[in-house]
């Protein structure tokens, strides 16, 4: 863990952001779920994270999971994820407007960038 501390911090920011994404009704922004009512959108959004997290944790648990392509891919995702939130900033249903929401988004991106620079 020692040499990938930024990756793990980025993952912590991302997972905490996804908790906040429920508060912010993020499914209202995604093109594939925006048409759903809030009950269905909430269920799809939450349940979709089970295989996403399972797959990510499974990849990270592999012998080279914290080094190599999986870690680099997660770092790049953290940066791209912040860019996507910036692109959707003016979306009429965007509720990621407070400082805490942006701390989580940008904290993940910063950690991803630092891991790319200093990770193994």
What is the arithmetic mean of pLDDT over 101-116?
A: 97
Kindly tell me if the per-residue pLDDT of 3 is higher than 80: no
Domain ranges in the chain? 2-118
Give the tokens for residue 55: 């797959």
Kindly tell me if the per-residue pLDDT of 1 is higher than 50: no
pLDDT digits (tens, 9 = 90+) for 53-87: 999 999 988 877 787 889 999 999 999 999 999 99
Q: Are 111 and 81 in contact (CB under 8 A)?
A: no
Kindly tell me if the per-residue pLDDT of 25 is higher than 70: yes
Phi, psi values for residue 49, rounded to 5°: -75, -20
DSSP string, 97-109: -SHHHHHHHHHHH
Round the average pLDDT of the chain to a whole number and report it.
Answer: 93
């Amino acid at each position: 863990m020692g040499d990938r501390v930024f990756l793990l911090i980025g993952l912590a920011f991302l997972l905490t952001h996804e908790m906040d994404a429920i508060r912010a009704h993020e499914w209202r922004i995604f093109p594939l779920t925006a048409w759903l009512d809030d009950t269905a959108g909430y269920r799809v959004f939450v349940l979709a994270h089970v295989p996403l997290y399972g797959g990510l944790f499974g990849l990270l648990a592999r012998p080279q999971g914290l080094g190599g392509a999986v870690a680099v891919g997660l770092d790049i995702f953290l940066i791209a994820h912040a860019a996507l939130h910036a692109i959707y900033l003016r979306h009429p249903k965007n509720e990621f407007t407070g400082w805490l929401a942006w701390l989580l988004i940008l904290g993940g991106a910063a950690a991803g960038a630092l891991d790319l620079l200093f990770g193994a």
